Structure 1
């Protein structure tokens, strides 16, 4: 071997060693799967600089009923930990975790002791003048409303839950997870204060949502929907429910009826036709927002902005 070749190999050795060390460090970080984009963002915030979680529900699809693609099922099967909302939102995912990731740590965030949970609202309309709800719809909506990520206080609480669990799985990086969670906590507090100022024009506005996904956001920021076209699980509403919502739009002179990108827009046209109600798109899952650590605060801000934009 020539002297020049030996020197070239010697020069490459530190680079190869550094690459190997980086790969080893990365391999030591647990593999994490998440269900929906808001949870993915919170986990990504905690893991920032250490690793990146995978997402098993496409942001453009409803999480209430979903068929995973092969790549998503593979990511779930390779997970050391799974952070998800819980079976109230995704009943199908409980079996998928049991079958594909039986050895993974499964954390249903809705079940965390620090989570603020609200009960389902029943009936098509939520005010005192509400039309009498149908028995099948009332029975269908018993239990906890799973859309808890739209309360920023839950987002802050979940950062701590995620950091604690990641610290147990990966003790060497526990301090980094905790520091990331603390930084994320401050970011959510900042956007929460911003929304408190931003949402003022929407307070007192009568509005209808497509499906009852915003109870947590409403309760936190002092606003209230007059009703929802669909049930909280976004299943198809009965004709009687649609008619009840339409009557409410007319009786209250509802300002806005919000649709969602994942669902049937024709139903919104049905309840607004012939009225003065405006329609706008609002999305509890943040379709179109860039995924990652910054997604969650941006999602909360976008919900407020859409509400205020329609109110004005």
Structure 2
């Protein structure tokens, strides 16, 4: 009897070892949270969605951990913007089968919507900035602004592409995936109208952002940005630099300067000190928004509220 039990245990052990470990954890893996929002809506009820970057991390300088590489290797589908945005993923993604990777910026449906990068890409150059500090070149994404998740149009086309990929990979779930895409399309259209209505009263109010990330959102909703200053959160700007920024703020009659969660408040207060300009914070990655069917719509609503709260002065 003992011998039979031993053989049974050995057989079970062999079967468990032979099974691919990642199968139970396979999911749609998105590089950043906003892409996860879109993927979660399409994959709802079919497969899980996971986000590679933790809250607070930057897509510009993240380094993959061994556990991240395993998640990519075990994914049903990996969704990312592309190598000019998430350079840290390029090597790992290129090793995946083509049907399991989706590079959104390379889609034929998305390419016509890409915005050129700022003509004033290194804003500091025009102000005699000290090049011993990190410049915008460290933040360069090729010829285009690749913060494409901030475009409702690109979000819709991305949703279609994710749907089509998952139908290829999981044809048995086509009915559910079709329904999810219909729900996302409808929900996005409603959210788009609502956000447009919320932002309408502040369209003419000028402001500055520190990070040149919001072009798609601003263009879509007709907002009035006056400029951007890409400030590395690890480097405290010098007094001369802060004076230059303050001068521009006053000259352009901006009503608000927007930071981001990763920027130290001291930097923001120093820039606005001595001017009538209000300070606010914009979150381009949806920190605090949980993945779910409606999370992309919540993300748009949260961002619009962040604009309005500072521009209106509420």
Fold shared, TM-score > 0.5 on shorter chain: yes
Tell me the SS of whatever aligns to 2:101.
strand
2:126 to 122, 126, 132: 132
1:88 aligns with 2:84: yes
Shift of 1:67: 2.1
Tell me the SS of whatever aligns to 2:229.
strand
1:287 aligns with 2:284: no
1:198 aligns with 2:198: yes
| CA distance, structure 2, for counterparts of residue 29 and residue 176 of structure 1 | 20
| CA distance, structure 1, for counterparts of residue 241 and residue 108 of structure 2 | 35
1:109 aligns with 2:97: no
Shift of 1:121: 1.2
Shift of 1:250: 1.6
CA RMSD of aligned residues (A): 2.9
Residue equivalent to 2:175: 175
Shift of 1:223: 0.8
1:119 aligns with 2:116: yes
Residue equivalent to 1:217: 217
| CA distance, structure 1, for counterparts of residue 188 and residue 61 of structure 2 | 29
Relative to structure 1, is the Cα distance of residues 219 and 103 closer, same or farther in structure 2, using a 3 angstrom cutoff?
A: closer
What does the per-residue CA deviation read over 1:250-269, in whole Å, with 9 as the maximum and x for residues that have no partner?
21231111111123333322
**Runs of 5+ unmatched residues, structure 1:** 1-26
| CA distance, structure 1, for counterparts of residue 127 and residue 224 of structure 2 | 18
Residue equivalent to 1:161: 161
Shift of 1:104: 6.2
Relative to structure 1, is the Cα distance of residues 177 and 281 closer, same or farther in structure 2, using a 3 angstrom cutoff?
A: same
| CA distance, structure 2, for counterparts of residue 243 and residue 292 of structure 1 | 44
| CA distance, structure 2, for counterparts of residue 194 and residue 144 of structure 1 | 28
| CA distance, structure 1, for counterparts of residue 117 and residue 236 of structure 2 | 16
Shift of 1:295: 1.4
Residues 64 and 89 in structure 2, CA contact (< 8 A), matched pair in contact too: no
TM-score, reference length from structure 2: 0.80
Relative to structure 1, is the Cα distance of residues 167 and 82 closer, same or farther in structure 2, using a 3 angstrom cutoff?
A: same
Matches within 5 A, 1:246-261: 246-261=246-261
Relative to structure 1, is the Cα distance of residues 124 and 168 closer, same or farther in structure 2, using a 3 angstrom cutoff?
A: closer
Shift of 1:119: 0.9
| CA distance, structure 1, for counterparts of residue 122 and residue 208 of structure 2 | 9
| CA distance, structure 1, for counterparts of residue 213 and residue 285 of structure 2 | 10
| CA distance, structure 2, for counterparts of residue 108 and residue 177 of structure 1 | 20
